[in-house]
Structure 1
Amino acid sequence: MDSLRLQHTAKTGSAARACIECIDQSHLTEAVTQSSPLFTVVDLIKRLESDPRSRGQFWKINDRASELSTGTAISTWPLRFSEPARNDERPLFYMTQSATSAHLSMLTSQTGQRGIILNDIESTPSRWAKGAHPWLPLWLASNRHCIPFDPATGDEARAILAGALDELYVQGSPGFCYMTLHDETGDGLVCDPAQAFLGMYRLNPQPPGAPHIRLLGAGLMLREVQAAARILHDDWGIAAEVWSCPSYTKLARGAERQSRHKRLLRGKAPRSSHLHDCLGNSQTPVVAVTGYAEFVAAQLAAHVRGPFAALGADSLEPHQRLDRHWIAMTALRELANLEQISTSMVSQALNRYRLV
């Protein structure tokens, strides 16, 4: 595979720290907003371009057809012919509209599997879930060079951007970060920046009493998960923990590393994973929801201690749409399987929400 053979230097880290400082400062100085991930990322890059601390400290590529203009770099090819650039890597922001794995594979091959890929496809009309060809999420999940994220809000996108700059360019970890971006504002979510980049964080306190269930959501599907939690509480008296999971893939890989570490150490205390730090050994049932195909959320199945169900764009019949009512019904079914509620409640929910 062709590669840029970029050299990580001390200046690489200092450039990334300047960008992180600017991103953090923008969050402290501006009024709290509920901007979309797309708006937030575009705004942050504009700030980085204008701030004296970060101006000239990063590379920006923008191949989005809607924003092509004179003087805008649209590929990384010029870097291949610049020996100074190859010998002194800088943070790379690549803004694109890549709907297929073939296009994204070509793009990341050009970048030498480096950079922060910012994919603006979800806000464009498409017959595919989240604007992505079905093979694209499979490619993202299976590509070990890639850390894929699906932020729900602008604050999550901001936290992921800063976290990726630190991991890739300050710490010098290999690979690239990928974010899919939508252009719908948040619903008052309060983000935990440190845990957002790790893959998940809780949005509400652990509910008292029983029965209760855990609902996990990513991207735009998080608002349906939150609505499902309200339905469970208001209509059925069931309390739900709600978790935002910007990266099911990162969570699953961390849990896999923990399991491997445990096998190799044979008796020594294994290091923990963020997934297990969050969910522990609880037998509380979990319903994980994604706007991609079901397998994206199902990556957690082998690593969750309690009963687990995954829901995705392909979980229902072609004429059905995954929404808050299906999520609530699935939660009720999981509780009924554990005999924590009556099975008649599942039938009632199917009729009440006209799901049959």
Structure 2
Amino acid sequence: VRGNGKIVQELESFFRGAGWNVIKVVWGREWDDLLARDSEGALRNLMNVTPDGDFQTYKAENGAFVREHFFGRDERAASLVKDYSDEQIWNLKRGGHDYRKVFAAYKAAMEHKGQPTVILAKTVKGYGLGPHFEGRNATHQMKKMTLDDLKLFRDQMQIPVTDAQLEENPYEPPYYHPGAQDETIQYMVERRRSLGGTLPQRRSNHTALSLPDDSVYALPKKGSGTQEVATTMAFVRLLKDLLRAKDFGHRIVPIIPDEARTFGMDAYFPTAKIYNPNGQNYTSVDRELLLAYKESPQGQIMHVGINEAGALAAFTSVGTSYATHGEPLIPVYVFYSMFGFQRTGDAQWAAGDQMARGFIIGATAGRTTLTGEGLQHADGHSHLLASTNPATVSYDPAYGYEIAHIVQAGLERMYGGEHPDPNVMYYITVYNEPIVQPKEPEDVDVDGIVRGIHRVSVGEGDGHRAQILASGVGLAWAHEAQKLLKDDWGVVADVWSVTSWTELRRDGLAADEHNFLHPSEEPRTAYITDKLAGSEGPIVAVSDFMHAVQDQIRQWVPRRYATLGAEGFGFSDTRAAARRQFKIDGPSIVVRTLQSLAEDGVVDRGLTAQAIEKYRLHDVNSGTSGNAGGES
């Protein structure tokens, strides 16, 4: 309803302007005789100039009110209904409630060729529910019908239920079914059968998937040697191998709303191709390139343009195909991380509600890592938004080998058949800052990577101890801080890669709930508590996200815990300057660690001030943490 306007005409203009055929079903058959006698167009004029708000009011009143306030505005129109009773005027229906006219509209739409057709049907909110409901603004808040309402509804819909049956318990009126042999039921069942079965329908069984073996994940585990590779590219290379995996790769559906070349995904174009049911009927501007744009009806990539809503709709459709069609497909939706949960969080909630399975890749992540594009791209909070979605399992990996284990664990959870909750979406943030990707250690802690934390470096030598927790690109700053602490202050720090702050928090909450509900059983401890139990010294945590991301685990950290984070809007400057501004770089970690040691009474408080002066912590131009360059 447009109170001061007319929504039907507004929508008609949009569709006609787009080249559609428009069929309007505005007035029921009871108006036909009046319109046929409207020789001077008085009634048509009233219909055209009366706003939606008035039409809603008419249906909340009665026939006498409509006679006076609608027809009575023009004596010529009033004369058309002078012989009508108030009840007859009240029974002048809107077109959307006239099944003959609705049928005629559908028939006309089916017979129209050469254009898509839209049917605009005018209806009344709460139609048939009686005067307390029909046309009322409060309809959506009214949960119960009174006994009189039930009787009116029964009479209007001609339902064979007696007064005695309704009066027996007005809060539990009987359900009426005409019987399986009723011609109406028979017709509905036959039509549904001919259209392919009942809808909506979720299939509990689907075609079995043959998941890739360990060899498919081998490349990221080898490291990058001397070459600097961003985690975005590490993921893209892994996805390329997954697309090639025998008996599996054809089930992956990359979804890219924009920037495929920025992410390095143009490498997929020649082989996987971009899906287009009409093929490619033009000569592409990049046709001379090895990785030229290729569209095909057999394409595997969904390249939807700058259309996050469309991309999420595609993700949901593909991610639920295991249940709606019995054929599992694995969507891999890649986007600028700032344009994910912030723009389409509601759609991602709906995807979770529909039990979609797949991977959501937040590329160019971090508040300080994607330089030069301003605050609209500076994501420092998507993991907080993701944490609110119960179906989202989020990770912020630092290295390619971590990504390999996370993706493998995700596929195993979704389609391995062993996990009690396979209906999840894995959100993985990746960055465009190039670093030398390390080789996977021989003693790699795979369980720790998947559950949220593993130690990547044990500090050597004697000295006061400390623990540094970091995720994503922040792990490089942690290593920098580890070296500065040892060389400049004689402090020995271990470095931990936190692959998922959110999963650690969920594990902690689960432990707390178990202890709350089972006080007589052996208490459980949170995974993060167990992992840090054998370590020494204060704990400092950092990432390229807000403090609140690291603060998620605070209540389960066993000792003094301090966090560093990027608060506020991002800005266009060098990575090093931005990290110094937010106080999340290597020297900032050093200062925060020294401060924590001083608060524990282990070192002199004056060391903190000395470190601030030594590293010129207040000078954004003195920051050095981070590499330049890197598109993906």
Q: Do both share a fold (TM > 0.5)?
A: yes
Q: SS in structure 1 opposite 2:431?
A: coil
Q: Which amino acid aligns with 2:234?
A: T
* Residue 50, structure 1, aligned to residue 50, structure 2: no
Amino acid at match of 2:456: L
* Alignment match, 1:162: 408
Of 478, 502, 511, the match for 1:249: 502
TM-score, normalised to structure 1, is 0.85
Q: Which amino acid aligns with 2:360?
A: I
- Post-superposition shift, 1:89? 2.7
Separation of aligned partners in 1, 2:322 and 2:579: 54
Distance 2:376 2:478 in 1: 17
In structure 1, runs of 5+ residues without a counterpart are: none
The root-mean-square deviation of aligned C-alpha atoms, in Å, is 3.2
Residues 1:255 and 1:80: Cα distance change in structure 2 (over 3 Å): closer
Find the counterpart in structure 2 of residue 144 from structure 1. Answer: 390
What is the correspondence of 1:339-354 to structure 2 with a 5 Å cutoff? 339-354=601-616
Q: Any idea what SS the aligned residue of 1:148 has? A: strand
1:306 maps to 2:563: no
Greater shift after overlay, 108-117 or 339-348?
108-117
Structure 1 or 2, whichever has the larger Rg, is: 2
The answer (yes or no) to whether the contact 1:6–1:88 under 8 Å persists in 2 is no
**Partner in structure 2 of residue 267 of structure 1:** 520
Matched residue, 1:86: 325
Cross-structure match for 2:359 = 116
Aligned residue number for residue 198 of structure 1: 451
Q: SS in structure 1 opposite 2:435?
A: coil
Deviations 1:159-184 (A, max 9, x none): 11111111222225222110111132
Deviation at 1:91, TM superposition (A): 2.9
In structure 1, how many angstroms separate the alpha carbons of the residues matched to 2:404 and 2:359?
12
- The CA deviation at 1:318 is 9.3
Is 1:237 matched with 2:431?
no
Contact 1:41 1:154 in 2 (8 A): yes
Cα distance, 1:327 vs. partner?
0.5
1:178 alignment counterpart:
427
- Correspondence 1:327 to 2:576: no
* Alpha-carbon contact 2:318-2:330 (below 8 Å) kept: no
One of 116, 120, 127 as aligned partner of 2:374: 127
Q: Which has the higher contact order (CA 8 A, sep 6+)?
A: 1
User: Which TM-score applies when normalising by structure 2?
Assistant: 0.50
After superposition, the Cα gap between the structure-2 partners of 1:42 and 1:107, relative to the gap in structure 1 and judged at 3 Å, is: farther
The residue aligned with 2:21 is none
Deviates more, 1:149-158 or 1:119-128: 119-128
SS in structure 2 at match of 1:24: helix
Q: Which secondary structure state, in structure 2, belongs to the residue aligned with residue 116 of structure 1?
A: strand
Moved more, 323-332 or 181-190: 181-190
Displacement of 1:317 in angstroms is 11
Cα distance, 1:82–1:157 mapped onto 2, change above 3 Å = closer
Q: Which secondary structure state, in structure 1, belongs to the residue aligned with residue 338 of structure 2?
A: coil
The corresponding residue for 2:258 is 64
Please state whether the residue corresponding to 2:611 is helix, strand or coil. Answer: helix
| SS across alignment from 1:201 | strand
One-letter code of the match for 1:146? T
8 Å contact from structure 1 (residues 129, 313) kept in 2: no
Moved more, 106-115 or 244-253: 106-115
Q: Structure 2: 5+ residue runs without aligned partners?
A: 1-199, 262-273, 275-292, 305-310, 569-577, 619-632
**What number of residue pairs does the alignment pair up?**
348
SS in 1 for 2:333: strand
1:338 matched to 2:605: no
For residues 509 and 230 of structure 2, what CA distance do their matches in structure 1 show?
32
Change (3 A) 1:186 1:196: farther
Task: Give the drift of 1:248.
Answer: 0.9
Partner of 1:218: 471
List per-residue Cα deviations over 1:156-211 (Å, max 9, x = no partner).
Answer: 11111111111222225222110111132345364633321111100123656552
Match of 2:332, SS state, is: strand
- Mapped to 1, the partners of 2:472 and 2:322 lie a distance apart of 39
Partners of 2:595 and 2:403 in 1: CA distance: 33
